[in-house]
Structure 1
């Protein structure tokens, strides 16, 4: 099987369009079409349905996508392995929930960069589900996500236990029950965020439908809007501690025993353990061990 043909197929499947794949690969559309036809002839099967709306993977194409991801990743890892030295260097792409990146990672990343300046480090923030899929599809080396994560292809390691609190404006009356927030507007991150999922779970367990849900893309915006009285949110206590201390916000304990959420670091079981990734995991373990973060007691 020609690796170049496989790469063209994989890119086309990802983009969902021959024209978009051609633009990404810097090929002519006719060249992409020809290479896909070559691969189909080699495999003696049809990989895409062609229709007026574009292309769609056939069942055979869907199967091949999974193998293509693995094959192309192994080739990339082989190149890295051959070129790797004992000194961590080269690319390292890590994902993280935005709140974890903002509160828990700055010191770790600073120390790692100072210790291993030859590593080309990239951090991408986003919701848990997005990072799980990115790790599974070999798009990133590892990620800090909400746990536990139950997947046969992933290794997970607990690193942080966060205490969640309701977050309101400073003038908001005390919250003694989830039912106290049933008429409030919920200010949350987009779908896939573990804090949003936990908040909706708490309401669902009480048989409550949210009055209104407003999505925001940044921590600062949510904190600012909560402080202005637009609605309420659910976030880690550590994230809002400074705003609460400054009397900009008010935090309320969760009394139903649902206050703890665990952050885990995930990576693929079959991914190559490069010196850069190995050094990062070692630094991570030392960093969080020194912090001695453990689940706080709930009230």
Structure 2
């Protein structure tokens, strides 16, 4: 069995057709077909169901896909491990929650210094980002600190203070409790902290409204749509301009850390190592 056979197998599984896989690899379709048949012969079992719409994995094919991903990942790590003097290069895929205040500075410093790195940044809520790092979909991610999974390592980035904000017409904490909560989807660390405080206060939110971006949450709050629990650094100027007002929440709920996570069992490549050094330099 050759590594290339596994790569082709994975691509056919992803694309769903031999034609799409052949186009992606710039191969003739007959080459792809013969490689798949060879792999099925070696495994002594059909790996794909063939139908009019294309190809889908058999139960045995799904099992092989799991092992194939692990094998190819270890192969890539093996190559990186023996190239210890290699300058940072290649793809680096990083996830982040929306409110990492130092992120533009970190990314700018890194990209300017390591021009051979193809850096991509994806946003999401903490729980989703953790899952993506665990499943090797991301090389690392900036998240709100939580109980870190044993397969992950974390590097502290900075500590943040969260504030409960409303428009200027909501004056008391009792009025705040009656307002709808404006927040990100479930899995957001800020939302989890606010929910913890509400639970400890025996408060049941009247309504929860989910939004996709921080900017929309802030604008909607200023317009009187509800209240939000957000980093103070993001809303200081809005408060100075009289667009919103702050409401005090006990420190045990409002103090929160942002950390950078990565898998503990993957080889620390120069590309990710230098990224962590850039984080440390820009705290």
TM category, shorter:
0.7 to 0.9
1:146 corresponds in structure 2 to 144
Please, what is the CA RMSD of the aligned residues?
A: 3.4
Q: What does 1:103-182 correspond to in 2, within 5 Å?
A: 103-175=101-173, 180-182=175-177
Q: Per the alignment, in what secondary structure is the counterpart of residue 124 of structure 1?
A: strand
Q: 1:282: Cα distance to partner? A: 1.2
1:225 corresponds in structure 2 to 220
Q: 1:110: Cα distance to partner? A: 1.9
What are the superposed Cα offsets for residues 83-115 of structure 1, whole Å, 9 maximum, x if unpaired?
A: 774433332222111111xx2211222222233
Are 2:262 and 1:267 equivalent residues in the alignment?
A: yes
What residue ranges of structure 1 are gaps of 5+ in the alignment?
289-299
Q: Per the alignment, in what secondary structure is the counterpart of residue 119 of structure 2?
A: strand
2:70 corresponds in structure 1 to 70
Q: 1:174: Cα distance to partner? A: 3.1
Question: Alignment partner for residue 282 of structure 1, among 264, 269, 277?
Answer: 277
The alpha-carbon distance between structure 1 residues 26 and 183, as it changes in their structure 2 partners (threshold 3 A), is farther
The alpha-carbon distance between structure 1 residues 118 and 173, as it changes in their structure 2 partners (threshold 3 A), is same
Moved more, 37-46 or 242-251: 37-46
Question: TM-score, with normalisation over the residues of structure 1?
Answer: 0.77
Distance 2:93 2:110 in 1: 13
The alpha-carbon distance between structure 1 residues 245 and 61, as it changes in their structure 2 partners (threshold 3 A), is farther
The alpha-carbon distance between structure 1 residues 183 and 37, as it changes in their structure 2 partners (threshold 3 A), is farther
1:93 corresponds in structure 2 to 93
The alpha-carbon distance between structure 1 residues 149 and 46, as it changes in their structure 2 partners (threshold 3 A), is farther
Q: Per the alignment, in what secondary structure is the counterpart of residue 279 of structure 1?
A: helix
Distance 1:276 1:217 in 2: 30
Distance 1:236 1:264 in 2: 15
Question: TM-score, with normalisation over the residues of structure 2?
Answer: 0.81
Number of corresponding residues: 279
Q: 1:201: Cα distance to partner? A: 3.0
What are the superposed Cα offsets for residues 195-242 of structure 1, whole Å, 9 maximum, x if unpaired?
A: 222223333334433322222111111111100001111111112112
1:249 corresponds in structure 2 to 244
Q: Per the alignment, in what secondary structure is the counterpart of residue 98 of structure 1?
A: coil
Distance 1:243 1:232 in 2: 14
Distance 1:42 1:126 in 2: 41
Q: 1:10: Cα distance to partner? A: 3.8
Distance 1:128 1:22 in 2: 37
Q: Per the alignment, in what secondary structure is the counterpart of residue 277 of structure 1?
A: helix
What are the superposed Cα offsets for residues 180-201 of structure 1, whole Å, 9 maximum, x if unpaired?
A: 5443222111232222222233
Moved more, 254-263 or 279-288: 254-263
Distance 1:70 1:148 in 2: 27
What residue ranges of structure 2 are gaps of 5+ in the alignment?
none
Q: Per the alignment, in what secondary structure is the counterpart of residue 99 of structure 2?
A: helix
Q: Is the Cα contact below 8 Å between 1:165 and 1:252 reproduced in 2?
A: yes
Distance 1:24 1:169 in 2: 54
